[in-house]
Amino acid sequence: MNTQEPKNVVDIMYDIERMIQNPSDNFVTSPVTLYYSLLVLAQITAGKAHEDIISLLHVDDEHLVEMTNLLYSAFNSDKDCKVQLDSSLWINQSFDLKYDYLDMLKNQIHSLVAPVDMGNEATDQAIQTWVNDHTGHLLEDAVKNIQTDALTFFELFATLYYKSGWKNEFDIDDSYEGDFFVNDDHTVTCTYMNNESAGRYVACDHFKGATKSLSGGYEMALILPEDHMNLEDVLDDERIYAFMKGTTGEEAYVDLTLPRFEVGTNDDLMIKFRQMGLSSLTDDLVDFSPVIVDTSETLISKASQNTRLIVNEEGVEGASYVEIAAVRGAAFRMLNTYKLTLDRPFIFAVTNRGLPLFVGHILNPVE
């Protein structure tokens, strides 16, 4: 039983994002998807790995199912926007499995649980089709590389698909070509979008920031480091996370100039798990006794996250999936108006009530 003091799930997701961010390149991740994958993984593990996961997530055993279902419910909607958070467990039926527990798991947490023959083309195709269908086919180039073999014990996936329009769309006729200042020595040309709308605005010694509303209660937070600050230092500033969470900022009108951009990241989570205090998942045999009779010689062979986000005049579309494989052997009043032009490296987040669906930064919007 995990007896530590409870911690706000929003704070935990941002803590995880900070552990895996890469300030040296364009970057995007989905903390909600990664957190969700670990919630599901915790329910098929025991021993040290299980204890480490629930310690990181600040969730005790009594609330694992409840938290899994809370996230599932929060991020599955077709109202005003499309958001779909899901999971699937593909498990090798040639092993001595605990089918009663697997059936219970499937019913408790809305997850697909599929005992299959591993290492054949039909299984690989079924997995790829499921992942593509649950990520809006935005990550097909990565998905086509998902493969199993006869020694694969399971493939666990958590997926997220999101698509929403701006509440106040950019007019494509107002878009224009302009310079983006990657650094002092490098300028590129990109397409800028511009309009004015209500949102939150913040300004301090290290950065300025504004939000732009999306349908369904979501918003995009955009943070621009001041000229004298580099992006890496601002990423360590607690105040940007307070702004992303929605706890700071003045309601205002913002004349926003934002580059049209697309960003994708493929993260090796085996390395990141160690940074997150989950070396028991990467460096040792893992106890999967909740789902298999003989758990000896079982280890996690792969953990990765693929994420893609597209931002244009119409809105935001994004997808992410986490793959974890094992083998045997998130009233009108008078407002001030501010201007924010994101023409140098900046930070962004797509959130709902502070929960981070996507968090990242752009060093070069046309790269």
DSSP β-bridge partners for residue 363 = none
DSSP string, 258-277: EE-EEEEEEEEHHHHHHHTT
- Does residue 1 carry a pLDDT above 70? no
Mean pLDDT value across the chain: 91
Q: Please state the rounded mean pLDDT for residues 317-321.
A: 98
Buried b (16+ CB within 10 A) or exposed e, 150-177: eebbbbbbbbbbbbbbbbeebeeeebee
The candidate with the shortest Cα–Cα distance to 349, out of 22, 24, 103, 27, is 27
Percent share of the chain, pLDDT over 70: 96
Identify the pLDDT of residue 332.
35
- Does residue 335 carry a pLDDT above 90? no
- Does residue 354 carry a pLDDT above 90? no
Q: What does pTM read for this prediction? A: 0.89
Identify the pLDDT of residue 7.
58
- Does residue 186 carry a pLDDT above 80? yes
- Does residue 6 carry a pLDDT above 70? no
Query: What confidence tier does 102 reach under pLDDT thresholds 50, 70, 90?
Result: very high
What's at 54, amino acid-wise? I
Per-residue pLDDT of 236-265, as tens digits, reads 899 999 999 999 999 999 999 999 999 999
Query: What confidence tier does 224 reach under pLDDT thresholds 50, 70, 90?
Result: very high
Residues, the chain:
367
E-strand ranges in 71-135 read 76-77, 82-92, 112-116
Across 3-12, 37-46, 221-230, 290-299, least confident range: 3-12
The highest-level CATH class for domain 167-261+332-362 is mainly beta
Identify the pLDDT of residue 23.
77
Please, where in the chain does CATH 2.30.39.10 lie?
167-261+332-362
Q: Please state the rounded mean pLDDT for residues 77-89.
A: 93
Identify the pLDDT of residue 336.
67
- Does residue 165 carry a pLDDT above 90? yes
In CATH, 9-164+263-328 is 3.30.497.10:
yes
Identify the pLDDT of residue 5.
41
Percent share of the chain, pLDDT over 90: 75
Query: What confidence tier does 319 reach under pLDDT thresholds 50, 70, 90?
Result: very high
Please, where in the chain does CATH 3.30.497.10 lie?
9-164+263-328
Identify the pLDDT of residue 341.
87
Higher pLDDT, 2 or 258: 258
What whole-number distance in Å separates Cα of residue 288 and Cα of residue 75? Answer: 28
